Structures are given as structure tokens and as C-alpha cells.
């Protein structure tokens, strides 16, 4: 090839030669990029699904300290267990996936909550009380009025048998099981008994009086009124039920229960069943007349909602209609969570678009079953009337919240909008061969990403400000070269970082503040070799001024990302510093150590 280029050049002028050579080099470089860069299965221009590499489903969420934490069924665990082929039978799902964001476009993967390990001590002799799987979580948190500590409660269904609960003092744990068996099961007063109805898909809320409630139940006969939905009060501990469950008369009910309190009213959401609407048309008209409502019967596999002032009175529940359409993209069911975050409501749901994109790229078996992925779109809720408008589902997803990502705080490597070829690992739990599937690990602040040549991550709306950054620090190990490229994967590198270390080390390079300025979309790409990336951070161009201010601060208290106090200097990676300025104001910031 090079000989043919040289031969042709003999017939060109010097100017033509330079132009020709530049064009050939650009074409050759683009060809190399096209050949070597890992494929993307979530477009860089789209916000959905939230992960471009992890299958997960049945979302629930909470807002805590300015971040939105999303939890879901770990479809990816089944995907790996099946050898990345075959059907999703849900039988190998024994952990819960955790993501979080503070801007709604870049998501941090926190690993998984290993429910199989946490619930290993459950009663083994009674099959429906012992642990089997973990599906469809629901999460809530509160500040304990007596201790002043924040408490987190994560509920999940153990197949169709019942509901278990885990507790923690931070949104990513460590988690523990406070009980020795399911919290709700076939023996629970008022619950569904063995047969066609299930005690699964929990939905939890805490009302304005601090009282906890949980809904559950599903399947049932394919009729207009299956009578499988239940709600029960929780004891103050939030880990045991109080009294007997009662029915929620939810028309066309199937599964996917969730609860919210909106405008002082209890709002129950669920997925409708597949019953023939025409068959029950007369029954529906009679139901509307009896209840004094005008809502139409929901379409099949649609998210619906009901509202009540008194959740334990079945007659108080009013059917309001459907708001979440079937997500399509090859999905065979529907499950969503309605969540308010920084003043805006979001509809978090699942579809199978990630699987569809992988199949289209021939990256997975053509007959791969339905493995789902989490998505989010903005929802419109009238809080004064507890009314939910129909949600528009699209792949664009929500707009960025606020001014975009702050690169001057530590950014975890597993934070991204999408990626190509990335593998996640927990560096406190690496096997000797260095190759593990991190989707079996505990949720952790100790996550890192493994990237071979051509692998990349992508971040949207990174705001370097008007003054810009003068330095970039990466915490990494391995042998290779990392490039930061703006705008597109094939762009010229704006920063190049060479990595050569057997241990995690901080590597700092100078960058041009006139380039690292404003709001950028960034590719972090491994141009050669293989590296493990833990975190990165920018340094503002006015670093000297910042240091002068810091000398006036009190000594900082240091915490890991779970909120646990760090009393030694051995911690490596991201941490949170809490300090007071000269005026006595308390501040918190992330830093790479």
C-alpha cells in the first residue's frame, strides 16, 4: 500500500503531494478508528437507555442528597449465566442493580446488591419463606426521628412467593437482612394464598404522617377485576407488617405495583393485564357508572393509577386511567416507577432497546430472549389533584439538570452517558486471574472500569466553566494510552495520558484552558494497551487562588461515597471532604486521593 502511494506521488507537485498525503492520512486514521473502536449499543445523542452495556429492569428510585438512585432487577446476571444466549427465565436473578445520577444524562454504575448472600440465613425449611431470587425492588428512605440517622429500606419479591426487605444506612449500603424470612408471604393475614395469585412486585411509600405502606400482588385470572392487588400497613420499624392486608380494587390489574404520596393523597400505580377488553365492555360501563368516573378501560400492558384518601378502605380507591403506554421494542411486560427529582417528575421504566440494538449489530445471538434495559422520560403531574398525564416515551430522554457535570469534583470512571467495550470490576474483590464479572459483586464505591484498546466511555454536558481547566488527573493502572476527545470519537485528542503502573496511581497532565473551557461532550478512549480507570478530575485554571482560600478552612472530615467516616490515609480513589470556611459555613466536595 505504501509503495503504491509513493509511486503515485511522483506525478504530483509538492503542493499536491502535501494535500494528497494529508487526505490519505486522514482517511487511513478514520479507517483505523472505524475498525478498532468498540461498538456502541446506545447512541451518544440519546439519553435512553440509561446504561449502554447493562441489562436491568423493574425500576424503583429515591432522591438523596442531590442524587437520584435507581435500582432494578439484574437481567444481566441471567444474561451472563445463560452464556449470553437463550431465554430470560428470571431464575438466575439473585442481585439488584444500582445506578445514580445528579444530572439525568450521566449515570454512575454502583455494582449490585448480592441478595443471595445477604439472605442466605433465611428459613430454609419452608420453601415459600426461604430465599430464591430477587425481582422488582422498591426503595424508600427516612430520617429516624429517635436516632437522627438516615435509614434505607429496599424491598424485593422472592419470585411469586412474597416480599423480603433489606436495610442500610446509605443508598448503596452495606445492606443487611433484618429478618430470617420473607416479610410478606402466603401466611400473612389478608395476603394472596397459593394458587393463581402472587404476592410479588412490592411498592412502598411513607405518608405525610411518617407511616409506611406497602402494596403487592398480581397475576390472577385474566378478567376485568382479578382481585389480586393488596396493600398493608408497615410497623414503625418498616421491616414488619402491621395488621392485615386489604384488597385494592384495581381494574385489569396484573403486576408492577408502586406507591407514592402526592398532594396528601395515596397514589397506587400498576400494570394492566392482557384480558380482552371487548369481552368485558358491558362490565366496564357498569363499573364507570357505579364509581362515577369517565376514564376509559386501559389498553393491555399499560401503566395505570388509582388515588385514595384512606388506603385501607377498598371503596376509597378511585381509578384515574392509564398514563404509561406499553414501551414496545420487543418488551413483553411493563413496569415503571414515578419519581420526583429536583422538582421534576420522571417516569422510569424498562424496554428491550439495548437488546434490539445488540441484535442489529450482530453482537448477541439472533434468538436472544427478552433482556430488558432501564429508561427514563419526563412526566407531568398535577400535585394539587394527584393527576398524572400520559407520558411520551422516546429514546431522547430528559434534558440535563442544572449546569451539567462538574469536572472539578472527582468523577468516577463508571460514570458515563454511554460506552463501548467497557467492563466493570470492584477492585476490592478481584480474583487472581484479574477477570471477573462485577455484576455479582456488592454495590460499592470501589468500582473501576477495565478498558482495552479501542474501548471508550462518553460523558455529556461536562461544564469546565468560562475560565477552563489547566490540569487533568486520572487515577489508573495498566499499560496504555488514554485520550480525551471532544464531540466525536474520531476527533483529535485534547489530552493524552500515558499509563504505566501495576498499582492505581494518580497521573496529572497539563491541558490548555482555552480548549478545556465551556460545556463539552467528552470521549475517554483507550488509544493503545489495556488500562483500569478508577476516577478522574480537572483542576481549575485559578488553582493558586483556590489554595489560598483553602488555607483559611478548618480541617476537613473525610468520608467514602457511602457516607462512612475515613479515619486513616489508606483510602485510594474518590472521597468526600466536608469542611467549614472562614465564615463557618459547611461545604462538601468530592476529591480524588
pLDDT tens column, 499-513: 999 998 999 999 999
Strand-pair partners of 348: 337, 376
d(CA 512, CA 491): 16
pLDDT above 50 for 429: no
What's the mean pLDDT in 169-190?
Answer: 95
Structure confidence at residue 346 (pLDDT): 98
d(CA 374, CA 53): 11
pLDDT above 70 for 591: no
Structure confidence at residue 34 (pLDDT): 45
pLDDT above 80 for 273: yes
Quick check: pTM over 0.95?
A: no
| Residues whose CB is less than 8 angstroms from the CB of residue 95 and which lie 6 or more positions away in sequence, other chains included | 74, 77, 112, 113, 114, 115, 116, 134, 439, 440
Structure confidence at residue 584 (pLDDT): 56
Q: Per this entry, what is the length of the chain?
A: 593
Structure confidence at residue 545 (pLDDT): 35
Cell numbers at 441, concatenated: 459483586
pLDDT above 90 for 588: no
Which of 194-198, 467-471, 542-546 is the most confident on average? 467-471
DSSP string, 449-498: EEEETT-EEEEEEEE-TTT-EEEEEEEEEEEEEEEEEESSTTSPEEEEEE
Structure confidence at residue 549 (pLDDT): 25
Structure confidence at residue 35 (pLDDT): 40
What's the mean pLDDT in 559-574?
Answer: 56
Structure confidence at residue 81 (pLDDT): 87
d(CA 28, CA 214): 60
d(CA 71, CA 269): 17
What's the mean pLDDT in 425-433?
Answer: 41
Q: Which of 159, 205, 210, 203 is nearest to 182 (CA)?
A: 159
Q: How many CB atoms lie within 10 A of CB 481?
A: 17
Percentage of the chain surpassing pLDDT 70? Answer: 82
pLDDT above 80 for 479: yes
| Residues whose CB is less than 8 angstroms from the CB of residue 117 and which lie 6 or more positions away in sequence, other chains included | 442
CB 258 within 8 Å of CB 336: yes
Structure confidence at residue 113 (pLDDT): 92
CB 272 within 8 Å of CB 249: no
Tens digits of residue pLDDT in 55-90: 999 999 999 999 999 999 999 999 988 889 999 999
CB 475 within 8 Å of CB 573: yes
| Residues whose CB is less than 8 angstroms from the CB of residue 241 and which lie 6 or more positions away in sequence, other chains included | 183, 184, 188, 214, 232, 233, 234, 235
Structure confidence at residue 336 (pLDDT): 98
More confident residue, 440 or 223: 223
Q: Which of 200, 256, 226, 231 is nearest to 316 (CA)?
A: 231
pLDDT above 90 for 31: no
The dihedral built from the CA positions of residue 245, 249, 336 and 340, taken in this order, carries a sign that is negative
Tens digits of residue pLDDT in 338-376: 999 999 999 999 999 999 999 999 999 999 999 999 999
- The CB-side HSE value for 379 (13 A sphere, CA atoms) comes to 26
More confident residue, 122 or 582: 122
Average pLDDT value over all residues in the chain: 86
| Residues whose CB is less than 8 angstroms from the CB of residue 456 and which lie 6 or more positions away in sequence, other chains included | 37, 38, 419, 420, 421, 422, 489, 523, 524, 525, 526
d(CA 421, CA 221): 44
Structure confidence at residue 126 (pLDDT): 87
Structure confidence at residue 70 (pLDDT): 98
Cell numbers at 230, concatenated: 393488596
Q: Cα–Cα distances in Å, from 583 out to 542, 576, 577, 580, 588? A: 22, 21, 17, 8, 15
Residue 353, SS3 per DSSP = helix
pLDDT-wise least confident of 300-309, 312-321, 322-331: 322-331
Q: pLDDT category, 558, cuts 50, 70, 90?
A: low
Amino acid at each position: 500500500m505504501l509503495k503504491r502511494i509513493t509511486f503515485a506521488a511522483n506525478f504530483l507537485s509538492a503542493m499536491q503531494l502535501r494535500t494528497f498525503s494529508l487526505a490519505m492520512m486522514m482517511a487511513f486514521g478514520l479507517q483505523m478508528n472505524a475498525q478498532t473502536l468498540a461498538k456502541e449499543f446506545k447512541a451518544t445523542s440519546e439519553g435512553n437507555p440509561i446504561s449502554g452495556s447493562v441489562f436491568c429492569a423493574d425500576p424503583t428510585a429515591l432522591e438523596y442528597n442531590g442524587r437520584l438512585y435507581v435500582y432494578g432487577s439484574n437481567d444481566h446476571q441471567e444474561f451472563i449465566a445463560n452464556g449470553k444466549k437463550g431465554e430470560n427465565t428470571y431464575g438466575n436473578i439473585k442481585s439488584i442493580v444500582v445506578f445514580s445520577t445528579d444530572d439525568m444524562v450521566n449515570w454512575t454504575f454502583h455494582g449490585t446488591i448480592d441478595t443471595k448472600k445477604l439472605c442466605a440465613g433465611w428459613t430454609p425449611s419452608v420453601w415459600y419463606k426461604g430465599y430464591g431470587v430477587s425481582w422488582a425492588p422498591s426503595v424508600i428512605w427516612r430520617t429516624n426521628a429517635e436516632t437522627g440517622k438516615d435509614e434505607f429500606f429496599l424491598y424485593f419479591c422472592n419470585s411469586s412467593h412474597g416480599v423480603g426487605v433489606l436495610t442500610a444506612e446509605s443508598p448503596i449500603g452495606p445492606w443487611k437482612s433484618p429478618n430470617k424470612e420473607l416479610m410478606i408471604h402466603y401466611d400473612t393475614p389478608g395476603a394472596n394464598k397459593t394458587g393463581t395469585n402472587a404476592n410479588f412486585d412490592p411498592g412502598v411509600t411513607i405518608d405525610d404522617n411518617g407511616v409506611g405502606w406497602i402494596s403487592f400482588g398480581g397475576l390472577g385470572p385474566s378478567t376485568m377485576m382479578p382481585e389480586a392487588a393488596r396493600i398493608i400497613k408497615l410497623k414503625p420499624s418498616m421491616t414488619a407488617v402491621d395488621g392485615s392486608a386489604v384488597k385494592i380494587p384495581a381494574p385489569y390489574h396484573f403486576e408492577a405495583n408502586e406507591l407514592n404520596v402526592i398532594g396528601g393523597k395515596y397514589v397506587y400505580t400498576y400494570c394492566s393485564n392482557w384480558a380482552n377488553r371487548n369481552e368485558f365492555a358491558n362490565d366496564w360501563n357498569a363499573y364507570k357508572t357505579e364509581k362515577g368516573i369517565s376514564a376509559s378501560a386501559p389498553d393491555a400492558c399499560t401503566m395505570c393509577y388509582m388515588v385514595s384518601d384512606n388506603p385501607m378502605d377498598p371503596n376509597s380507591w378511585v381509578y384515574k386511567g392509564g398514563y404509561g403506554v406499553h414501551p414496545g421494542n420487543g418488551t413483553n411486560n411493563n413496569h415503571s416507577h414515578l419519581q420526583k427529582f429536583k422538582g421534576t417528575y420522571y417516569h422510569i421504566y424498562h424496554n428491550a432497546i439495548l437488546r434490539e440494538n445488540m441484535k442489529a449489530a450482530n453482537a448477541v445471538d439472533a434468538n436472544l430472549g427478552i433482556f430488558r434495559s432501564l429508561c427514563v422520560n419526563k412526566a407531568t403531574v398535577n400535585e394539587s389533584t394527584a393527576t398524572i398525564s400520559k407520558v411520551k416515551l422516546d429514546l431522547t430522554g430528559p434534558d440535563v439538570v442544572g449546569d451539567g457535570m462538574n469536572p472539578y469534583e472527582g468523577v468516577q470512571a463508571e460514570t458515563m452517558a454511554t460506552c463501548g467495550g467497557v467492563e466493570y470490576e470492584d477492585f476490592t474483590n478481584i480474583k487472581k486471574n484479574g477477570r471477573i464479572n462485577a455484576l455479582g459483586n456488592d454495590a460499592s464505591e470501589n468500582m473501576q472500569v477495565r478498558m482495552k484498546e479501542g474501548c471508550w466511555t462518553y460523558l455529556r454536558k461536562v461544564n469546565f466553566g468560562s475560565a477552563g481547566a489547566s490540569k487533568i488527573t486520572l487515577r489508573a493502572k495498566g499499560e496504555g494510552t488514554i485520550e480525551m476527545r471532544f464531540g466525536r470519537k474520531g476527533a483529535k485528542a485534547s489530552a493524552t495520558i500515558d499509563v504505566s503502573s501495576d498499582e492505581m496511581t494518580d497521573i496529572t497532565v497539563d491541558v490548555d484552558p482555552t480548549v478545556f473551557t465551556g460545556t463539552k461532550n467528552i470521549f475517554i478512549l483507550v488509544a493503545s494497551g489495556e488500562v483500569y480507570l478508577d476516577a478522574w478530575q480537572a483542576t481549575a485554571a485559578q488553582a493558586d487562588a483556590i489554595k489560598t482560600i483553602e488555607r483559611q478552612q478548618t480541617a476537613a472530615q473525610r468520608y467514602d461515597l457511602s457516607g462512612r467516616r475515613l479515619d486513616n490515609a489508606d483510602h485510594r480513589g474518590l472521597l468526600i471532604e466536608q469542611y467549614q470556611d472562614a465564615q463557618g459555613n459547611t461545604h462538601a466536595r468530592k476529591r480524588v486521593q
